[in-house]
Amino acid sequence: MKALVVGGAGFVGGYLIEHLVREYGYDVLATKLENEVIDSNECEVCDLNIMDSASVNQVLNRFKPDCIFHLAAQSSVALSWKNPQLTVDVNIKGTLNLLDAVKNIDSSARLLLIGSGEEYGLAVKDNEPIDEENAIKPGNIYAVTKATQNMLGGVYSKAYGMDIVMVRAFNHMGPGQSEMFVVSDFCKQVAEIEVGKKENIMLVGNLSAKRDFTDVRDVVRAYGLLAEKGRTGETYNVGSGRAVAIQEILDTILSMAKIEVCVKTDEKKLRPSEIPMISANTSKIRKDVGWIAEIPIERTIEDTLNYWRNRISGEVNAD
């Protein structure tokens, strides 16, 4: 079996490649941008810009995958406010290029479109986990593009008989994630403070927001099971089912710090619009493919903090 991981150089890509090879024995082709690196000897790697429709068609025609995981995205909510044009181009136009390429070569490949829990946005009510049948009301530009991607997947699946499964992945985290994301950002700052690379002031944004966090290693396990057992044309939430306040995340990280850390709000980290609380109802994915999140949030935070400690220590020693 052949699996194509589009956008394999990102945070999730490395974990997914390893999971597909080791758990399923897939022959994997992972794509990346020209300036990116995929540090893996477990897969074939090629350059691909999903904005280039001819190149997308060429890769699919050459590799002929049985399953496609579409990870290529501009995935930062904060960056989507700063660069909405890029976010729309990559997340909508790039997805259309992939959908059309699969349709044009008359492929029977299963396609997983990875969306976001942010799509539900302001539709969240009553502090209850939200299920896939709930209306969506995106509250930021990134969420709008992912909601559009989901709708396009549904249309293509029905109109052209394509084997497409849509995913709404809630916040995920773990070692190796970019510091653009809150847990990794906090862990990096603590690691820098501990070795004196940064002054003892930790900058934070809104701490009252509550989000559903899942370890990336659980997330890729969900993707593998959905590729194997998910129902065509359906959307699945992937999350822990529990909303955690950013303040609670911060407190956990500070409890693991080796020194006392001063915390200060940074206005630049506050967003123009913030959804107060969101968590996933995961009964559908549990029923259809047997998946639940297993890794405790404390372990994920500790692993992420140690990742940054090792990386920062290496940088300091290199200096």
Distance linking the first and last C-alpha atoms of the chain? 46
Inside any domain, residue 290: no
Do residues 78 and 99 both lie within one domain?
Answer: yes
Domain that holds residue 262: 174-211+242-274+295-314
* Cβ neighbours, 10 Å, residue 316: 13
- Among 156-165, 268-277, 279-288, the range scoring the smallest mean pLDDT is 268-277
Do residues 90 and 136 both lie within one domain?
Answer: yes
d(CA 192, CA 149): 38
Inside any domain, residue 265: yes
Residue 56 has pLDDT above 70, yes or no: yes
Residue whose C-alpha is closest to residue 235's, from 155, 127, 144:
155
Do residues 178 and 200 both lie within one domain?
Answer: yes
Do residues 20 and 45 both lie within one domain?
Answer: yes
Do residues 187 and 53 both lie within one domain?
Answer: no
**pLDDT, position 127:** 63
CATH number of the structural domain spanning residue 15: 3.40.50.720
Chain segment 133-166, per-residue pLDDT in tens: 999 999 899 999 999 999 999 999 999 999 999 9
At residue 302, φ and ψ (nearest 5 deg) are -60, -45
Do residues 262 and 232 both lie within one domain?
Answer: no
* Cβ neighbours, 10 Å, residue 319: 6
Chain segment 81-101, per-residue pLDDT in tens: 999 999 999 999 999 999 999
d(CA 16, CA 6): 11
**pLDDT, position 317:** 66
Inside any domain, residue 289: no
Total domains, the chain:
2
* Cβ neighbours, 10 Å, residue 181: 18
Higher pLDDT, 205 or 226: 226
Using CA atoms, how far residue 224 sits from 66, 72, 117, 150, in Å, is: 13, 17, 19, 19
Q: Could you say which of 223, 238, 253 is where a domain stops?
A: 238
Do residues 7 and 148 both lie within one domain?
Answer: yes
Inside any domain, residue 162: yes
Chain segment 221-254, per-residue pLDDT in tens: 999 999 999 999 999 999 999 999 999 999 999 9
* Cβ neighbours, 10 Å, residue 54: 9
CATH number of the structural domain spanning residue 191: 3.90.25.10
For the sheet containing 110-116, what is the strand order? Answer: 44-47, 27-32, 2-6, 67-70, 110-116, 164-169, 235-238
Do residues 85 and 191 both lie within one domain?
Answer: no
**pLDDT, position 316:** 63
